Amino acid sequence: MKFDRRSYFRVFGALSVALLVGNQSHAQPATYPTVTDDRLEHSDAGDWLMYRRTYDGSGFSPLKQIRPSNIRDLTLAWSMSTDLLGAHETTAIVNRGRMFITTPQNNIIALDAKTGTQLWRYARKYPDGLFQLHPTNRGVALYGDYV
């Protein structure tokens, strides 16, 4: 099967960011890198700052490490368990090596994208008496120094 570059990255764009962020030339900074309007409009190749990566929703990754010629050589870099049951339907968001995912039951998990090490977890309690038929959370937004 032959893939053109654009269709390939539409399918595997977010995965490539997740697996290859550690291969970027910049080290993870000690302080959280601020997300500005300019960074949202012109993000670095290794960042995935919003759903589908860009305002036009292309879902295209400009990274060049994954190509049709080396896809069979890819291996799993890391995996993790959220320890929660239910549908996990998040888009991983990556800001200079920090990955953010959401889970059912209102959790946000920050990870080191290179190693999969959990940096922190925030769990918001639901109000008493709330019943959710399908407690899905599909992601976070980044702006300034806020998640």
Reading the chain (147 residues) residue by residue, the pLDDT tens digits are 444 444 444 444 444 444 444 444 445 556 889 999 999 999 999 999 999 999 999 999 999 999 999 999 999 999 999 998 888 899 999 999 999 999 988 899 999 999 999 999 999 888 899 888 887 888 999 999 999
CA distance 9 to 1: 15
Query: pTM (2 decimals)?
Result: 0.77
CA distance 68 to 73: 10
3-state secondary structure 48-102: ECCCCCCCCCCCCCCCCCCCCCCHHHCCCCCCCCCCCCCCCCCCCEEECCEEEEE
Query: Residue 97, Cβ neighbours under 10 Å: how many?
Result: 20
For 32, the enclosing helix (H) or strand (E) is: none
